[in-house]
Chain A
Amino acid sequence: MLILNGARAMFAAGVVAMAAAPFLFDANHVVLLTEFMSMLVLAVMWNLLAGYADIVTVGQHAYVGVGAYAFFGFAALAGVNPYLSIVLAGLVALAVAVPTMMLVFRLRTAYLAIGTWVVAELLMLASGKLNAWGGGSGTSLPLSIVLSFGRARDDRLAAVYWLAFGLAAVAMLATYFLLRSRIGVGLTAMRDNEEGAAAVGVNVTHARILCFLGTAPFLGIAGAVITLQKLRIAPSASFSMTDWTVLIIFNVVIGGIGSFEGPIIGTFIYFVLRQYLAGLGAWNLILLGTFSIVVILIEKRGLWGLIRRGLGDDLVPIAHKPSAAFERTAKANINAASDNRQ
């Protein structure tokens, strides 16, 4: 219990430090942390779908790309306020997710996964045909838009960081409350035992649709925020499968799929490892892929699954705890049942 409370205190201190990061760290670290927050959002969203809603997507880079292109369209081409453009980018991603959902939900499990990939591929190819967006080679974000986030470099980096941090915070709070809600309890029940959940009347179809559509605006806004870091859009970079889907999947699998803490741990470990693996080129992905397979074979709940055994409880309490009185009755019933059998 002492260790658990200590871990929770450290987590809380970490969150406070992150909120004040631009005051605490130099520019290089703020850039790194901005990237961390963006990838964390993508990891939290993929984990919500794969870990709870039983929807494996390998096409989530579609919404990141759509968000990036929509942001550029509103801010650079239509002259909409840049901050408003970020929000609108999320709405466009949602608008793309609706017909996609109607199409790919006709497919099940693995077929659905590849179906999302086909849609992502099509959207990437289509984005290369948009001449106003620079066609196949993409284009840079106009300087006026970049400067509207702060005239000095440090101010701008801080503003973009807080956008990324804010998005990550909202994404995690939304996930927390969703999983605590009736829908989340149903999803968790389904994750643990599908037949059992169906038998007690969990309607998973609605929950899955809600999750699929709910992740799209977050991914789209993340795409806009990522564009503000990279300062340019291009089909291959904005719709990068390696960056916005492959790495995210590996991070979540290694950190612990189907847990609140898993995406955070996985993304954190990736950023630490990356400092050492940077020179390895293609070996980087080979190692992460191999590590993911080993994790799946040994401990499906990932590193957090291992840590949690030591701590005894979640860092962020998602599960509803049974009351002490309920546990006493349940235990008494089990004892009585085993006595009867003897």
Chain B
Amino acid sequence: MIAIWANQLLQGVMLGGLYTLFAIGLSLSAGVMRFINVAHGDFIVLTCYALLLLSTLLGVNPVVATLIVLPVAFLFGFVLQRFLLQRVVGENVLLVILVTFALSIIIENGLLEGFGADPQKISGGRLETATVALGNGINVGLFQIATFFTAVALVAALDLLLYRTGIGAKIRAVSDDVAAANLIGLSSVRIYAVAMGITFVTIAIAASFVSIWTNFDPASGPTRLLVAFEVIVMGGLGSLWGSLAGGVILGVAQAVGGQFDIAWQIMAGHIVFLIVLALRPQGLFPKY
């Protein structure tokens, strides 16, 4: 009995790693650009399909496909911010929500038109099936462990990027006060675009892991967005390490809920989120 629960708990923590990967990009764009990209989840799914195309058409393995997609994702984020979102940002938050919301619907239905509604999955080969035995009948997948530690490493890397590098200092300056940053000669437009490029790199990393972890279909974007959103609100807005905590809480909540009844899995996540929101609206590790 204890072994079953310990196993569920461990699976939940690992799932939390995946959820942290979803959330990092949203946390970055919300923290720097001060808006929520409603199409965040759909961009993850869009990248999953890009990876699927690469692996089926070129026959490359998932690691190579990811390495090809990363620079493209950066460029895509840069261009999206520079030529579309920048035109509505700052003026009125409502417009950014509406534009990204419309983008989300366009992506979902575009994928439906192009690929159909069938669930897809990318095979991770041997990495996907290998497990590590921890004794007492507790087994953890090697891929799950790799996902969790990638999430930790990505949080650490972004933390270093934002607080220890020149571009990080510029990003933080623009995020704190756009007018003052422009006054001292920073190009806020360019820096926003770079920040969105970095956001899309994290989206591509999240996509490469989730495309192996589980099925995806054109309509799975909103679920990813809601997960990312709940993680960053629970973790505390703007706190990268907080999103790791938020991810683990959500992952464990879903794993425990799923233990009672499979249908309760998703509901348990939402309920825990609303409880945290009621008790601690500023999140667990608020940055400000």
Contacts and interface: CB of A to CB of B under 8 A. Distances in A.
A110 B113 contact: no
B233 A129 contact: no
Given A103-B274, A126-B267, A286-B113, A110 B97 contact: yes
A114 B102 contact: no
A260 B288 CA distance: 39
B12 to A, nearest CB: 19
B76 to A, nearest CB: 17
Interface in A266-312: 281-283, 285-286, 288-290, 292-293, 296-297, 300
Contacts of B274: 103, 118-119, 122
Contacts of B102: 250, 253, 289-290, 292-293, 296
Contacts of B281: 106-107
B278 A289 contact: no
B277 A114 contact: no
A103 B93 contact: no
B270 A121 contact: yes
Contacts of A281: 113
Given A111-B36, A293-B99, A54 B105 contact: no
A70 interface: no
Question: Chain A: interface secondary structure?
Answer: helix
Nearest to A114: B229
B110 interface: yes
B278 A103 contact: yes
Given A118-B270, A118-B274, A296 B38 contact: no
A114 B226 contact: yes
B225 interface: yes
A125 B98 contact: no
B160 interface: no
Nearest to B237: A111
Contact of A118 (B93, B230, B237, B263): B230
Contacts, number: 112
Nearest to A242: B105
B36 A290 contact: no
Interface string A93-118: 00000000001001101110111011
A296 B113 contact: no
A307 B152 CA distance: 54
A125 B103 contact: no
Interface residues of B, number: 41
A114 B35 CA distance: 12
B93 A109 contact: yes
Contact of A296 (B99, B106, B266): B99
A289 B267 contact: no
Contacts of A285: 105-106, 108-109
B95 A300 contact: yes
Contacts of B287: none
A283 B108 CA distance: 11
A117 to B, nearest CB: 7
A253 B233 CA distance: 28
B273 to A, nearest CB: 6
B253 to A, nearest CB: 13
A286 B36 contact: no
B270 A125 contact: yes
B87 A286 contact: no
Contacts of B273: 118
A264 to B, nearest CB: 19
Contact of B103 (A118, A129, A293): A293
A56 B98 contact: yes
A89 interface: no
Contacts of B67: none
A297 B94 CA distance: 13
A50 interface: yes
Contacts of A246: 101, 105
A249 interface: yes
Contact of A249 (B101, B112, B230): B101
B37 to A, nearest CB: 9
Nearest to B228: A114
B54 to A, nearest CB: 24
B195 interface: no
Contacts of A292: 98, 102
B186 interface: no
A26 to B, nearest CB: 33
12 contacts: A56-B97, A110-B30, A110-B38, A118-B270, A126-B267, A250-B102, A282-B110, A282-B113, A286-B109, A289-B109, A293-B103, A296-B99
Given A121-B270, A241-B222, 20 more contacts: A58-B101, A103-B278, A106-B278, A110-B30, A110-B93, A111-B229, A113-B36, A113-B38, A118-B229, A118-B273, A121-B226, A122-B274, A125-B263, A286-B113, A290-B106, A292-B98, A292-B102, A296-B95, A297-B87, A300-B95
Closest 8 CB pairs of A and B: A110-B36, A282-B109, A106-B281, A289-B102, A122-B270, A289-B106, A109-B93, A289-B105
